[in-house]
Chain A
Amino acid sequence: MDSKRIDIGVGLALCVLSVVIYWYADQYTGRGVNSYGPNFFPQALSVLLFLASMGLMYQGFRQQMAEALDVDRRGLINAGITLVLAVSYIGLMRLVGFYAASVAFLYITMVVLGQKNLKVRIASSVIVGSIVYAIFFYLLKIPLPEGVLFESVY
């Protein structure tokens, strides 16, 4: 994917989005003492977004030298895997509680990112998990998920 295609594609998507927003905001018609109701601001912004997006598309079409995107494919895959891990972590946190899920998340993420030293992985996950838990739960008194499996323990 190059910069020219991205500009045209993003411009087109935003044009469509701005039309949808304008149409959808029409239901929030003004009531009360003046005609500038809850619809005015989103509709005015969607008009401006439409114009700016058209400008972006125009700029894209005019681009003579398209720049290739500076993306490292392997790194992008790792970022994607980490995102999946984060979503799984949120689910796991509800099941096994904050502490256990956090230690597991830290450990697995380090494996994915290529940390080869087993001792570093274990020590960092347990120590960081414990510190974060202690700070948020005991010091800042923020109720962290206990997990349905361990609710009886607490």
Chain B
Amino acid sequence: MSFMYLLDAFQTIFSDVSSLLFIVAGVTAGIVVGCMPGLTATMGCALLIPFTFSLPPIQGLLMLMGIFTGGIYGGSISAILIRTPGTPAAAATLLDGYPLSMRGEAGKAIGVGTVASFVGGTIGALIMAFMAPQIAQFGLKFGPPEFFALAIFGLSMIISISGESLLKGAIAALVGLLLTTIGFDPLSGVPRFAFGNDNLLGGITFIPALIGLFGFAQVFRNIEKMEIVPQVRSKVGKILPSWAEIRGLIPTMAKSGGLGAFTGSVPGLGCDVAAFVAYGEAKRTAKEPEKFGKGALEGIAAPEAANNGATGGAMIPMLTLGVPGDAVTAVLLGALTIHGFQPGPLLFRDHLEIVYPIFAGMILCQVALLGIGLSGARLFSKLINIDARVLTPVIFLLCIVGSYSMRFSFFDVGLALLIGVVAYFMGQAKFPVSPILLALILGPMAEQNMRRSMMLSQDDPSIFVTRPISAAFLALAVLMTVVSYRKFKKMRAIEADLKAKADSEGAV
């Protein structure tokens, strides 16, 4: 059944050349943004969403899929060439990519990374296409208590995106949740915290908030660090790896792609964790593990296949349950809402005409990525060398136009600038901003379903634990919090240990 829908979706896309062009445009734009250090895939999606406003939904969404896929892949180019991952997901790629680059084989490293991204991404997209409908089917059994528990489960992953301080992550999330209470109360219609300003009655608009958090704040950071971060020049040689090299890497790519899709589908883990997990696994099972870190091709193939595989995986909870796996999928969720579609189980019941083209589009994005990545590697590597003094004002301009173009409102531009300034100072004070984005998405879901549940149960809170699915999600949320907290503490201890070691070596 799913397979037939998927074939129909391919037919829909192929019947309209402009859909294919939007995929190509999205992948290219994603790679351009992803390969520039300082511009993350999240920022890329935030900046480029306004370009999709006036497009028909399918084309707009195909372009966004392209940006997502291209953005995650693009990060590997700068990781390999200048040892600076364009996106966090490419951090594992530099471990072997940069040593290869130092040996004058940067082109080969990019080529292997591109092929691995294609293989991993395709596996992830296929897993998404066949698993997501089953999960959505299960999601149709959900009522308000289950959705509330699901929102709490989604919020429990704040630990994994909290950066250095869990407490600061929690505070950021609470601030984000409070922001969602601005505007009309969805159940009673009472305006809250609008202070008589009509612009606030509809609540904090998603796009200005997004551009403020990830666009303006990053621009301010880039401007501040411009004087102290030197520009690095890069060089690319022969790009296409030999067939023998690719053939030897296929098992690693396939395994890492599957592993990436699975890891990415767990909310909170995301593409960067998937890349490191796959890198570790590839090293553990390699015939010559000692070559890892010195330019092993498997060391590039594994993380690249995994982080692109994770793009498909991360879309599963976002599309089926309306719970974003990480900041980028939170942005995509917002984009879907802007195009008039509410991700969740009902999307699979009411909008199959959108769901399957998304799946088919995700697969086609991988094909576009392979073609564009291999043919444009030289050009993309030159983009890394664009003078930041020219690039930064351009991004600044795009942030301003992007926040204006949602409602043609100068109020939105001012709001985005204000949020950007606050987010910049939050970054300086080591407060993470991703929890705010997550809270903006999950806040309304939590509040509305909590209050609806209490109405259903006539103020009896036991409704959340007496219904099995709701209870299971709440138990999972507690489990995830405990496990993530322990992992968080362990990571901090390891970091402190390493720092102490480095300090003592420095003293000697």
Contact = CB atoms under 8 A, between A and B. Distances in A.
Interface of A: 3, 6-7, 10, 14, 21, 24-25, 28, 31-38, 40-42, 45-46, 48-49, 52-53, 55-56, 59, 69-72, 74-76, 78-79, 82-83, 86-87, 89-90, 94, 102, 105-106, 109-110, 113-115, 120, 124, 128-129, 132, 135-136, 140-144
A10 B174 contact: no
B174 A45 contact: yes
A136 B48 CA distance: 12
Given A42-B192, A55-B167, A140-B53, A90 B413 contact: yes
B390 A120 contact: yes
Nearest to B189: A38
Nearest to B224: A75
Interface of B: 50-51, 53-55, 167-168, 170-171, 174-175, 177-178, 181, 185, 187-188, 190, 192-193, 219-220, 223-228, 387-390, 392-394, 396-398, 400-401, 404-405, 408, 410, 413-414, 417, 421, 424, 428-431, 447, 450-451, 454-455, 458-459
Contact of A41 (B225, B408, B450): B450
A105 B397 contact: yes
Nearest to A120: B390
Contacts of B393: 105-106, 109-110, 113
Contacts of B421: 83
A120 B386 CA distance: 12
Given A78-B224, A90-B413, A114 B185 contact: no
A28 B185 contact: yes
B171 A75 contact: no
Given A78-B223, A90-B400, A49 B390 contact: no
A94 B357 CA distance: 40
B37 to A, nearest CB: 16
B396 A140 contact: no
Contacts of A53: 171
Contacts of A36: 450-451, 454-455, 459
A98 to B, nearest CB: 8
A42 B183 CA distance: 12
A144 to B, nearest CB: 8
